Structure 1
Amino acid sequence: MPSPSTALNGRSLVDGAASGELLFADIGLSFWGGVDAFSGEVIDRHHPLSGAHLAGRVLAIPSGRGSCTGSSVMMELISNGHAPAALVLAEPDEILTLGVLVAQLLFGRSLPVLCIGQQAFAALRGKAFAQVQGERLVLFDQAPAEALPAAPASPPAATRPTTLTLTDHDQALLAGDLGKAAQVAMQIVLRMAELQGAHSLVDISQAHIDGCIYTGPASLRFAQQLVQWGARVRVPTTLNSISVDQRRWRELGIDAALGEPASALGDAYMAMGAQMSFTCAPYLLDSAPKLGEQIVWAESNAVVYANSVLGARTLKYPDYLDICIALTGRAPLIGCHLEAQRKARVQIDLPALTHLDDAFYPLLGYHIGAMVGSRIPLVTGLERFAPTHDDLKAFGAAFATTSAAPLFHIAGVTPEALDPAQAVSAGEVLPVKRIALADLLVSWRELNSARDSQVDLVSLGNPHFSLGEFAHLAQLCRGRTRNPAVSLVITCGRAVLEQARDAGHLAPIEAFGAVLVTDTCWCMLGEPVIPPAARTLMTNSGKYAHYAPGLAGRAVHFASLGECVEAACTGSASGRLPAWLQPAAPQESPAHV
């Protein structure tokens, strides 16, 4: 056996021992949209590990990022045998760790998770093989002849001691006085609270559940097990998009192998008392929280919007922890639930800007998210533009795609940065990063992955379309003729769809030939809603422009809503750079580069 080249110590988030070929990347990875839950292949086509398979390898990434559903994907991978042998992180990641803990609790299967810190993480570059043994990581320049056999920790005991301060109600939940489901939920809440470093719990007023997305048999098994244990939510609870349009999946041609379990998963969460909202944009509902309200929301774009635009208080909760908190009404008092943890950690200065359109905000959010990693930014330079709620929705969704941060501040715009000084801790001088138009052009080209001008599908509504977006689209479609070779599909929530119908916005959109899909969203849609013959799609969503090459296997044109409608009429993307980008480079040719 070769001698180890390096030995490091870290913090064990999930105990165990495993070894394998080291798969290293210095960029965070979203398991949802970035890893195939059934094969373990990395499908994020923008990630350096694209095409690699995780099974049996020690995965080393700085942290997760993007979707809260990463925990569900991790659980599926553990359940079906395609998970990494171990996970090594530079920073603690609640989303991925929670997926391991739930698999450990329900299925008795696990993998070690070790956090070693940013400085030590850099030592992993170039190493070929790794062994994780509890809090110790041993690195090799080549694979040993005899690898350490995997030996994950045993599932946690039902009565695990806790260091948190608990109320009498908390103790009753933990003792099982309020039922098996509430007891198991409380065990998971406390385990995560300890990992996060919380000292106590806080009451929450509402929850939004992301775990209703079907990622495979394990996700349905988890929900149905809670129902069998008598689960009932203790606070008003809304549901995220599910994986199919529950009312029309057969009509849309969805295979019953997906339609039936995905619909059953939605039913299971409603059986726990959750509302049939089925939207990834719960901030568009009448139940949206107010400034300062303590809530528990999952779904990455919704978390960022709630914290940043509404000023409510939530962490970026992983799937399954969200329902556990809804079943107990109690959340770890940590992170963005605390005033001090909501302050900016880096300032982003924008260049001189002019002639902005609606493509600017998702592109900017995408770019800034990648710049800041897990740090909360304070963005300056938009004070005079007065971005709308739809602009901030698009910014936040793209920001949440590339960042692990649950919050952003925009000077003079978002509620906790109307006075920018209030978004910064007293006495702290923030590091400053400046963006040039040439930097934004790089991100524009990254989102525009299509190599020719053809457009076969226009996809709108990621996140779900708002009433304002329906009004804007109706104006753009009125009197226009769609190219019959181009499909235009919009996803939205049921409540907003009825509001748009009542307002008269749907008539010109339906006359244009758009297909309206409720309950689900683009990150869950595939064929035949995406026409099998379609090679390229066009979207105004920075989030979907990032995920579609991996999730849908199609190249993407990214542009404004107006450009999307134009392409639906002509069947071709113009390739024009928006006016606000043109000073950075000469006019582009019709084919994106």
Structure 2
Amino acid sequence: MQLKGSISYHGIAYVDGNASGPLIASNLELSFWGGVDPQTSEVIDRHHPLSGKHIQDAILAIPGSRGSCSGSGVLLELILNGKGPKGFIFSRKEDILTLGVVVAEEIFNKSIPVVVLETDEFQDLQNAIHVTINGNTVSSAQLKSVPEVSEPVAEKALGTSLNHHVELSDGDKDFLEGLHGRAAQAAMRIILRMAAIEGADKLIDITQVHIDGCVYTGPGSLDFAERLRDWGGKVLVPTTLNSISVDQKRWRSQGVASTFGEAAEKLATAYTDMGGRPTFTCAPYLLSSAPKKGDQVAWAESNAVVYANSVLGARTMKYPDFLDICIALTGRAPHGGLHLKHNRLASLRVEMPLLQPEDIDDSLYPLLGYHVGGLSGSRIPVITGFERVRPSTDDLKAFGAAFATMASAPMFHIAGVTPEAATLQDAIGERDDIETVSLDLRQLETSWRTLNSAQDSSPVDLVSLGNPHFSIMEMRNLANICRGWTKDDRVSIMVTCGRATHGLASQAGLIEELERFGVQFITDTCWCMIDEPVIPTSAKTIMTNSAKYAHYGPGLTGKKFYFGSLERCVAAACSGTYDKGMPKFIQ
């Protein structure tokens, strides 16, 4: 076959190997969790340019991942069930998806190549039709027809072209030699491979872990956890568990299929058997065990990572699913990324007009986080303009979750608000060439319309609250708003929260009061894992105050979405209709 315009590029093979196939490419990062169906390989992020495409048997070229830490779990399922891409090409260091390949290789002896190209070469590649990966070399060709190529996923560990030495302590060597058991040995191998990718020269002790890998993405996630447990795995540091895929106490009465519910329970049990606390919350920063400023921790779950770094001032990288339990089994993590102070400085300034308290409502923060996340990409931003407003911790939670949905950066600063940005200079350090973007609040209209994907005046069937999990203060605010209102019987209103928060709210009488109004409570799981029948089959349109859920929800549920403030959500629950008027701060 005649090749037209064949070009070769040389990059770095994070995972070595050979593959050939049609190219699917985008300049926009993609979250695999909520963005790719692990059973079909379809891109289901309805806001992404690749929406509707199937990545099976293709070479996927994207700058990197964004959003959820669970992308590694989705990728593992794709590789194990034969629905995955044949290889990856990135334009920057990529932890989450690479970790999914590393786990497939180390634990299941299956692999696909992963190559990182320079940005300009990555851009040149975008218009290619067919691509071949051979080690650290990528060859592209413009073809009138794509050749039939069917190469199986590699059945052996392939290594890497990274030449990076990580200094090992005597304790690290003991883990690596299997003196603490097979699970800890496998965990240390995975940690060291990721340390090399990070460019870390040594490992450090961490004080706690938050595990996101307890989310059931399919048989692979369960097999991985049960293998580590059966190999004798036990956590060595305090370890909390993220939301699981079902409400452990209620899933049977909710009508969840037994095959799914039992598998999700087995996964949760595997992690608790290894010593994880059954906290089952995506908001571990609400627990009494939350870390303090300067603590070196290893957290997964994208919103939790952003909150820990930005609001608490703790230090953690955005750890992918599966790497979290590896760190918990050894107590050791790569000394790189945001564990180092100089990597926590802002490289983008977002300059906002001076906000006035009377002009804003609580929908500003998730909307602004979503917009700033899109502007930031992999850059850490510092936002100015908050001199006259004081966002609450719940406001910052909403901002951070939305920011993490759109950005790959694992933290933000708000000048005068967050702990490492008492002043603008604190946030940017010695830099004098920082890029500045001036943001007019009217520019948020684009994000507002994106999140309000139901544009046809559809009645509201379900109000979804608690993504991330509701805090006790949000419970109080909701109760205050609901007083004097009567819910429409045709509308369901559901709140997800952690067990600890539900217990506190119950003691305060808030659960009983809100249940009288008509609120249904779900613990242990979160909206990104909930589907029918917990979401009523008859529900066509969902309203939420979460920008994160308004983004992922259409692809995860197939429903239409409205987005707005907490007060607007309650109004919709009482009227069954959505007020289309934009907030005052946009107008």
TM-score (norm 1): 0.96
In 1, the alpha carbon distance for the partners of 2:575 and 2:497 equals 25
Q: 1:163 deviation in Å?
A: 1.8
Q: 1:54 deviation in Å?
A: 0.6
Q: 1:87 deviation in Å?
A: 0.7
Work out the percentage of aligned pairs sharing the same amino acid: 53
Q: 1:292 deviation in Å?
A: 0.2
* Structure 2: unaligned runs, 5 residues or longer: none
Matched residue type, 2:556: L
Matches within 5 A, 1:108-257: 108-142=109-143, 143-145=145-147, 147=149, 149=151, 152=154, 154-155=156-157, 163-257=165-259
Cα distance per residue 1:527-563 (max 9 Å; x no partner)? 0111111111000001000000000111110000000
Matched residue type, 1:33: G
Change (3 A) 1:500 1:146: closer
In 1, the alpha carbon distance for the partners of 2:391 and 2:527 equals 24
In 2, the alpha carbon distance for the partners of 1:151 and 1:376 equals 36
Name the SS for the 1:242 alignment partner: coil
**Count of residue correspondences:** 580
Aligned to 1:546: 551
Of 347-356 and 295-304, more deviation after overlay is shown by 347-356
Change (3 A) 1:162 1:422: closer
Matched residue type, 1:85: K
In 1, the alpha carbon distance for the partners of 2:480 and 2:545 equals 16
Name the SS for the 1:231 alignment partner: coil
In 2, the alpha carbon distance for the partners of 1:357 and 1:486 equals 24
Whether contact under 8 Å (2:354, 2:386) holds in the other structure is no
Q: 1:146 deviation in Å?
A: 5.8
Aligned to 1:71: 72
Matched residue type, 1:433: V
Whether contact under 8 Å (1:30, 1:65) holds in the other structure is yes
Matches within 5 A, 1:87-126: 87-126=88-127
Matches within 5 A, 1:43-442: 43-142=44-143, 143-145=145-147, 147=149, 149=151, 152=154, 154-155=156-157, 163-354=165-356, 355-442=359-446
Whether contact under 8 Å (1:448, 1:558) holds in the other structure is yes
In 1, the alpha carbon distance for the partners of 2:153 and 2:82 equals 15
Whether contact under 8 Å (2:355, 2:387) holds in the other structure is no
Residue 479, structure 1, aligned to residue 487, structure 2: no
Name the SS for the 2:467 alignment partner: coil
In 1, the alpha carbon distance for the partners of 2:150 and 2:518 equals 59
Cα distance per residue 1:502-522 (max 9 Å; x no partner)? 122223211111110000000
Matches within 5 A, 1:482-561: 482-561=487-566
Name the SS for the 2:527 alignment partner: coil
Aligned to 1:590: none
Name the SS for the 2:463 alignment partner: strand
Cα distance per residue 1:353-405 (max 9 Å; x no partner)? 34111100000000000101000001011122110000000000000000000
Q: 1:88 deviation in Å?
A: 0.7
Matched residue type, 1:212: C
Whether contact under 8 Å (1:75, 1:103) holds in the other structure is yes
Name the SS for the 1:464 alignment partner: strand
Q: 1:150 deviation in Å?
A: 5.2
Of 508-517 and 352-361, more deviation after overlay is shown by 352-361
Matched residue type, 1:89: F
In 2, the alpha carbon distance for the partners of 1:95 and 1:149 equals 24
In 2, the alpha carbon distance for the partners of 1:151 and 1:580 equals 52
Name the SS for the 1:238 alignment partner: strand
Residue 14, structure 1, aligned to residue 31, structure 2: no
CA RMSD of aligned residues (A): 1.4
Residue 566, structure 1, aligned to residue 551, structure 2: no
Name the SS for the 1:81 alignment partner: coil
Cα distance per residue 1:16-39 (max 9 Å; x no partner)? 111111101110000000000111
Q: 1:205 deviation in Å?
A: 0.2
Please point out which of 443, 450, 454 is paired with 2:454: 450
In 1, the alpha carbon distance for the partners of 2:101 and 2:417 equals 39
